[in-house]
Amino acid sequence: MPNLSPVGVRKKYELYENKICTGEEAAECRVCLDRRVESAGYRVVVDRGDPKQEERFSH
């Protein structure tokens, strides 16, 4: 999991060594993450994530 905390406090949240995106601002890291995910054949979704509502038909 990349650390998207502000760079100035990022060391406080480092849980393990060699994390990706540790020296970049969050927006720069986001571009890097998009590329990594796309190289695996997927895409990053930034939608809200609300569950889909089933269509209800009245009879």
Average the pLDDT over 17-37 and give the result: 77
For residues 12-21, b (16+ Cβ closer than 10 Å) or e, as one string? Answer: eeeeeeeeeb
Task: Answer yes or no: is pLDDT of 55 > 70.
Answer: no
Position 42 scores a pLDDT of: 96
Confidence (pLDDT) at 47: 84
* Ranges of each domain in the chain: 7-34
Provide the pLDDT for residue 15.
79
CA distance 27 to 56: 40
pLDDT of 51: 81
> Is residue 31 a contact partner of residue 46, using CB atoms and an 8 Å limit?
no
Q: How many CB atoms lie within 10 A of CB 23?
A: 9
